[in-house]
Amino acid sequence: MQTTRYRTAWCGLLSVALCWAAGGSAAEWSFRQEPGKSLTLKRAETTVWQFHYGADVPKPFFDPVALPDGRNLTWNRPPDHPWHHGLWFAWKFLDKVNYWEPEGNADQPPGRTEWSDVDVSAHEDGSARIAMKLTYRPAGERPVLTENRVVEIAAPDRTGQYHFDWTSTFTAGAKDVELSRTPLEGEPGGVGWGGYAGLSLRLARALTDRAADTTEGPVEFDQQSRYRGKAPAMDYHGLIDGKPVGVAVCDHPDNLNHPSPWYAIRDEPMSYFSPAVLCYGPYTLKAAKSLTLRYRIIVHPGRWDAKRLRQQYDRFVGAATEAVGSRQ
């Protein structure tokens, strides 16, 4: 990848006392930044989340993504899939070129994901905003797709819960571009593990007693430890250090193929899930046209059932509608 230019909105080290713990005790939070490389939210010496965007990483990503008590929910570069990066976004195929993982002995995918104009800001209430521009191109060729990405991160509340509001607007270049994925079983060249592309979470090895729920009810994994289905939101949860924890993803009703197709894995050692927007078929974005995807990723203690997940989904949709209205 190449990093061409950064714009960083920053005021030095921020530290603010917030009431977080259930007992109401004050906890000191701080944002730490390595300019051009990372932004980190800390609680004392514990990293709550860290965003990586330096020239030495193949794609921008968040890892760790933890609760404020230090229990980390994500896994960057696991040995079985070193191109997995905690919480990240990657297309699989654009015009049949692979942007997901390296092929053969290469150290980068044939399709290159590049970024610039990174604008990182941290706020006194403990929230943050990250904006950036990305391009997607085959190696040595012109971009076929561009992206404007904004991720707004809420401060953890008194229970430790917080969320990422992720908005990506993709615009095709001078020609149509086909967004696609590894085909599914029953399709030509299809495999049981096909269908993935887009926003993804690779969850921590330490996560045990794993289960998942959508807004429609509990998830039933198949004999291959996989799940596919459609729903507005999914929560993947389990135990870390014997305590329940989970992460939910909400799919905005204006997104392509809403309610989202989900792809989830509960295997050993893989805990993975994704609102796999292209799961059931490719999509052609016409020349110069745009596609916007919006998600809310919620990190939380406890396990959420369908009712709790639906409540959180409704909050997300209401907040997103209010935000759009305020901009008009």
- pLDDT of 78-114, one tens digit each? 999 999 999 999 999 999 999 999 998 888 999 999 9
Residue 14 domain flag: no
> Cα–chain-centroid distance for residue 98?
19
CB 17 within 8 A of CB 43: no
Residue 8 domain flag: no
Task: Report the distance separating Cα 176 and Cα 180, nearest Å.
Answer: 13
Residue 217 domain flag: yes
Give the pLDDT confidence score for residue 101 in this predicted structure.
96
Give the pLDDT confidence score for residue 28 in this predicted structure.
72
Residue 23 domain flag: no
Task: Report the distance separating Cα 31 and Cα 73, nearest Å.
Answer: 20
Give the pLDDT confidence score for residue 169 in this predicted structure.
98
Give the pLDDT confidence score for residue 323 in this predicted structure.
60
Give the pLDDT confidence score for residue 24 in this predicted structure.
37
Residue 17 domain flag: no
Give the pLDDT confidence score for residue 6 in this predicted structure.
35
The candidate with the shortest Cα–Cα distance to 130, out of 147, 153, 114, is 153
Give the tokens for residue 185. Answer: 């079983």
The structural domain count of the chain equals 1
Residue 45 domain flag: yes
Give the pLDDT confidence score for residue 11 in this predicted structure.
39
Residue 230 domain flag: yes
Task: Report the distance separating Cα 27 and Cα 268, nearest Å.
Answer: 36
Collect the ranges in the chain with pLDDT lower than 50: 1-26, 326-328
Give the pLDDT confidence score for residue 13 in this predicted structure.
46
DSSP-based three-state secondary structure for 202: strand
Q: Which domain does 97 fall in, by range?
A: 28-327
pLDDT in tens, 163-199: 999 999 999 999 999 999 999 999 999 999 999 999 9
Cis, peptide link before residue 188, omega less than 30° from 0: no
pTM of the model: 0.92
**What is the DSSP-derived secondary structure letter of residue 76?**
B
List the CATH number of the domain containing 242. Answer: 2.70.98
